[in-house]
């Protein structure tokens, strides 16, 4: 159907845009940020070797520091996901704290995974988990959300919550599409409550599902 085709195209484009923004952020950190850091170090050495140049060197150092602050701000705007800065476990704990403190929702994290995922996969898992928690937090009757992460080879995320499961599948449809094009397997089970499983899937060939 045309509507389904458009939804898949939008999901695929959204995931591609996320990855491009992440790549740009990493380039700023690894290349531009590193060059500015080296310049700052050489400036410090110059100040030590030539004390008479201390005043103009200090002005240059202040300018470099301002440039670094702008680079950090731009990196966060390009790649708002906290995965690169804090890792999957801390990012999920911060997510739980935000919903607990901001909306009074009891969100708990149980992290038992010993495996680490590739950055792109970890970021996709975090974004999918954040979207699921966002849906769950505003689902009628939900009093507790549990995010459990396990796995000895690749982390797998399991989100469970109580409340009325009616309509939850439809609300999570867009999240499932984004997860699919992010290389993840996304499964929803509803009975008395809802359980969402997010795990790494073998990379599919390019293009939409038939």
pLDDT digits (tens, 9 = 90+) for 176-197: 887 887 789 999 999 888 999 9
Question: Quick check: 30 pLDDT over 70?
Answer: no
What strands, in cross-sheet order, belong to the sheet with 194-200? 106-111, 144-150, 156-161, 194-200, 184-190
Same domain for 193 and 93, yes or no, is yes
Give yes or no: residues 93 and 186 share one domain. yes
Let me know whether 176 and 112 are in one domain: yes
3-state secondary structure of 110: strand
| Bigger pLDDT: 166 vs 71 | 166
Residues 115-137 have a mean pLDDT of 88
Same domain, 117 and 181: yes
Q: What is the DSSP string of 143-203?
A: -EEEEEEE-SSS-EEEEEE-S--TTHHHHTHHHHHHHHHTTEEEEEEESSSEEEEEEE-PP
Q: Which of 7-16, 62-71, 99-108, 119-128 has the lowest mean pLDDT?
A: 7-16
Q: Please, which pLDDT band fits residue 204 given cuts at 50, 70 and 90?
A: very low
Q: Is residue 210 part of a domain?
A: no
Domain housing 70: 2-78
Q: What's the number of domains the chain is made of?
A: 2
- DSSP at 126: H
Say if residue 139's pLDDT is above 90. no
pLDDT at 210: 39
Residue 67 maps to a domain: yes
Model confidence at 88: pLDDT above 80: yes
Higher pLDDT, 90 or 21: 90
Written as six digits, the tokens of 111 are 């992290």
> Is the residue at 205 inside a domain?
no
Q: Tokens 């939804």 belong to which residue?
A: 7
Q: Is position 209 within any domain?
A: no
- Regarding whether 183 and 105 lie in a shared domain, the answer is yes
What secondary structure letter does DSSP report for 106? E
Q: Are residues 108 and 132 in the same domain?
A: yes
Q: Is 71 helix (H, G, I), strand (E, B) or coil?
A: helix
How far is it, in rounded angstroms, from Cα 104 to Cα 109?
Answer: 15
Averaged pLDDT score across all residues of the chain: 80
- H helix intervals, 28-161: 34-49, 54-78, 83-103, 119-137
The CATH code of the domain that includes 196 is 3.30.565.10
Residues of the chain with pLDDT > 70: what percent?
76
pLDDT band at 42 (very low <50, low <70, confident <90, very high): confident
């Amino acid at each position: 159907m045309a509507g389904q085709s458009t939804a898949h195209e939008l999901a695929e484009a959204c995931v591609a845009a996320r990855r491009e923004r992440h790549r740009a952020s990493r380039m700023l950190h690894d290349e531009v940020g590193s060059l500015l850091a080296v310049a700052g170090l050489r400036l410090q050495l110059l100040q030590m070797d030539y004390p008479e140049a201390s005043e103009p060197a200090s002005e240059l150092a202040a300018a470099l520091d301002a440039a670094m602050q702008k680079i950090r701000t731009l990196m966060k705007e390009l790649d708002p996901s906290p995965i690169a800065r804090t890792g999957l476990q801390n990012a999920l704990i911060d997510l739980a704290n935000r919903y607990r403190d901001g909306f009074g929702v009891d969100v708990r994290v149980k992290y038992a995974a010993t495996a680490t995922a590739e950055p792109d996969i970890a970021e996709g898992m975090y974004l999918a988990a954040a979207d699921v928690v966002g849906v769950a937090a505003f689902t009628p009757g939900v009093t507790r959300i549990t995010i459990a992460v396990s796995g000895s080879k690749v982390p797998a995320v399991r989100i469970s919550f109580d409340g009325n499961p009616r309509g939850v599948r439809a609300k999570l449809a867009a999240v499932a599409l984004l997860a699919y094009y992010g290389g993840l397997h996304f499964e929803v089970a509803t009975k008395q409550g809802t359980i969402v499983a997010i795990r790494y899937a073998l990379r599919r060939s390019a293009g939409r599902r038939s």
